[in-house]
Structure 1
């Protein structure tokens, strides 16, 4: 039986404790931005990092990761003191953080398993996640509870696992990584973060008066159909690896004038088209691809150190028939145009829409959402034991409900068993659709199937 089966090891946990800032911090109320404050972000997102024992660390007790990270967390919260507060809902549902200094939840644990027993292919979703990231009492919602839970689990081999559940309304992936970098720097002996945290959520608030100036198909109100109402229990998950050979083969399938487009755009177009074909929606139904664009570096007022949500969704929209019947180049053109639509005005328009329309959730039915975290930096977090064997998302997708989690995928940097670097994409589909999806992708690579198959692993 595979070592990844959660029944093969036992985790012994201490009772969750609240870690508070090491020094007194301001007691104040800080409003979230209108980009933070949307219904599609009101959930907890899990991340997980696996660390091997460093060979030069002789005394494991002296370098106890639990002790090191707990103490660093208390010191980091002095700088990131809003994270030690509680999320409150105010007038008209507006969210804000009351900086109470109550602290974040921390769990100390030990597992009777070694890193080697997890195997070489660490990738989400992790079937043993519930053991490595406990559902602690008092941390079962978004409002009026800790904004962050961390569990550090020691392994028999001297390695450890750092798992974290973060309130998405407070930070996006880049903001989470910024906090983790600060935490890791202090764990390694720094007295303060190299990049001071910046709140300034008013920079992404709606204008006065708010005015929607762009078209936002990502927030269209659309109805469910039989295809889009598949029970989560009927879903299966597989991860697909795209390395240099796979990318090269896919580029050969598109027109020459599009071959310079990024690997992200190429994979996105390929997955969107193949996923839609496998689900077999009605030909005249509208289908959407939501891309996530980070405003950092594109939105001038955002300062270095801003750790709030600073991204927006952009929707590529077409009919199922056009997407499925046309070559991949058609989907790639749509993805290309959608990404090019992003401007500073676009994210301002989203903030205004949130206020005018009651902070709506993005469209779910017949939608596929991709989130690229390959360059965010999860794989570089070093608490003093070196870089993680795996660092990043702990599930296939993210969302406040299983239905939302099942309609999106992460793009995760990955090194396969042969040492090849590429992108791992977890996908969730109904069983029959997954068979069709895998066959479709393999068919695209049939010219090189013997030497470079699209690798897939049932999860």
Structure 2
């Protein structure tokens, strides 16, 4: 048993391999160019207020059942003859760790705001893994707390899932734990998103524009600690921001997402003290499942692409907020099935290397059904990402339809984060 020190102490058992409770395919599993562009691990933490004495047994047995349907998560990453990532299917299972914490589950706080120490204690990392090729595609840790609550810590390779696919997996696992039938059967044929021959590219794509750091922003990351913080917006604040977004522009209406994205983009650019001529880029994650006619319900894979908005810092911060909102709204409107197919061809052909300098990436988690992950002891009371890339901003819903609230979580160097808070206060005053 290994022990972690600090305020929260967690004892982890040795990992056991949970194998599928049934036959699964062999061979190789195709990954689209969109999948291959994101070969890193996403960590998430679910917190529950209660459990049972049979917690570990229930979670392990249900995992064995659900892996029959989500078998690619047991594979290993390899490279094919074309130099592309592909998954070699195995039935060896996934590492499963049971752990015990010395405190109540509320000690972990709001897991939407990543804490490296908390993530290290609640999400299992295979110590034998040194690269993507020997790392498990999925790891699971179930931690029981003194109060009876528990956390589920998951690490999954982003090549295999986006947020919706990952949530479908967890919710299917929860259904298995409750002895309920799976409500969404995963569809595994990713060749529907295969690169066309010959490629048919209709760019350009602002989300891959290279941004030169003429404002010395990189120095903040080199000198200061990266910290995560959340900002909360109640319904009155959101309405005020939407009204601000329509001042002096040609828009008659806009979404809460577009208005809040514009606000954060402007405030973050100010927080970095960008020079007026500094290019600043906003990349928006867009789910294209409903726009892609040939993609069946239950598609398991990355059904998201990005669109981009680029301008100078001077334009962004000196022009009315409607300038940014209009760019965001127009960019999102470009996402059609043909845009997605062209983007797949572009990424497959050029394999663009995305840099984070001067870039903000916004991902909305407002539609993820994490409130449906009931393993038999109630829905999770807390859910969040275990870590954040330095350019990433995540939006969460708070409240309900009648009293809409939103939370925005991002990571920045400490002094830049302080500047961001001041900029938001000034802009929302």
Fold similarity call, TM over 0.5: yes
The answer for the alignment partner of 1:101 in structure 2 is: 91
Match of 1:193, SS state, is coil
Task: Give CA deviations for 1:114-146 in whole Å, capped at 9, x if unaligned.
Answer: 124345x44321341111113222345322432
Q: What SS does the corresponding residue of 1:252 show, helix, strand or coil? A: helix
Is the contact between residue 68 and residue 187 of structure 1 (CA under 8 Å) also seen in structure 2? yes
CA distance in structure 2 between the partners assigned to 1:241 and 1:388 by the alignment: 20
Q: CA shift at 1:213, angstroms?
A: 1.1
Paired with 1:183 and 1:71, the residues of 2 have a C-alpha distance of 10
1:214-237 Cα distance to aligned partner (Å, 9 max, x none): 211212334444214532543333
Deviation sequence 1:56-106 (CA, Å, 0-9, x none): xxxx32xx2211111100111111112111111112321111111111111
Cα RMSD for the two superposed structures: 2.1
Counterpart of 2:259? Answer: 266
Once the two structures are TM-superposed, the CA of residue 413 in structure 1 deviates from its matched residue by: 2.4
State the shift of 1:323 in Å. 0.5
1:47-86 paired onto structure 2 within 5 Å = 47-53=44-50, 60-61=52-53, 64-86=54-76
Gaps of 5+ in 1: 55-59, 398-404, 447-459
Which moved further from structure 2: 137-146 or 19-28?
A: 137-146
Q: Equivalent residue of 2:244, what SS?
A: coil
Write the distance in 1 (CA, Å) between the matches of 2:396 and 2:235: 15
- Secondary structure of the equivalent of 2:36? coil
Distance 2:168 2:149 in 1: 23
Task: Pick closer, same or farther for the CA change 1:96–1:439 going to 2, 3 Å.
Answer: same
Q: How far off is 1:24 after superposition?
A: 2.4
SS at match of 1:253: helix
TM-score, normalized by length of structure 1?
0.87
C-alpha distance in structure 2 between counterparts of 1:254 and 1:221, whole Å: 27
The yes-or-no answer on 1:210 pairing with 2:210 is: no
Q: Work out the CA distance in 1 between the residues paired with 2:241 and 2:15.
A: 48
> Do the aligned partners of residues 229 and 103 (structure 1) sit closer, same or farther apart at CA in structure 2, a change above 3 Å counting?
farther
Distance in 1 of aligned mates of 2:134 and 2:204: 35
**Counterpart check, 1:124 vs 2:107:** no
The aligned residue for residue 238 of structure 1 is 229
Other-structure match for 1:25: 24
CA distance in 1, matches of 2:353, 2:166: 22
What does residue 289 of structure 2 align with?
A: 296
Q: Look up the match of 2:390.
A: 406
Give the equivalent residue in structure 2 for 1:110: 100
Q: Pick from 440, 443, 448: which aligns with 2:426?
A: 443
Q: Structure 2 unaligned segments of length 5 or more: list them.
A: none
1:367/1:182 Cα in 2 relative to 1: closer, same or farther (>3 Å)? same
Provide closer, same or farther for how the CA distance between residues 140 and 246 of structure 1 changes in structure 2, counting only shifts above 3 A: farther
Mean Cα displacement is larger for which, 324-333 or 246-255? 246-255
Alpha-carbon distance in 2 for matches of 1:32, 1:236 = 33
Alignment of 1:277-288 (within 5 A): 277-288=270-281
Indicate whether 1:174 and 2:174 are aligned.
no
Deviation at 1:385?
A: 1.2
Give the 3-state SS of the residue equivalent to 1:79 in structure 2. Answer: coil
Normalised by the size of structure 2, how large is the TM-score?
0.93
SS of the counterpart of 1:107? Answer: strand
Q: Is the alpha carbon distance of 1:241 and 1:258 closer, same or farther for their aligned partners in structure 2, counting shifts above 3 Å? A: farther
1:429 aligns with 2:412: yes
Q: What is the number of residues matched between the two proteins?
A: 420
Contact 1:44 1:142 in 2 (8 A): no
Tell whether the 8 Å contact from 2:246 to 2:253 is kept in structure 1 after alignment. no
**Contact 1:250/1:444 (8 A) holds in 2:** no
Matches of 1:80 and 1:208, distance apart in 2: 30
Give the match for residue 374 of structure 2: 382
What residue is the counterpart of 1:402 in the other structure? none
How far, CA to CA, are the matches of 1:272 and 1:379 in structure 2?
Answer: 29
Farther-moved stretch of structure 1 (129-138 vs 96-105): 129-138
Deviates more, 1:98-107 or 1:429-438: 429-438
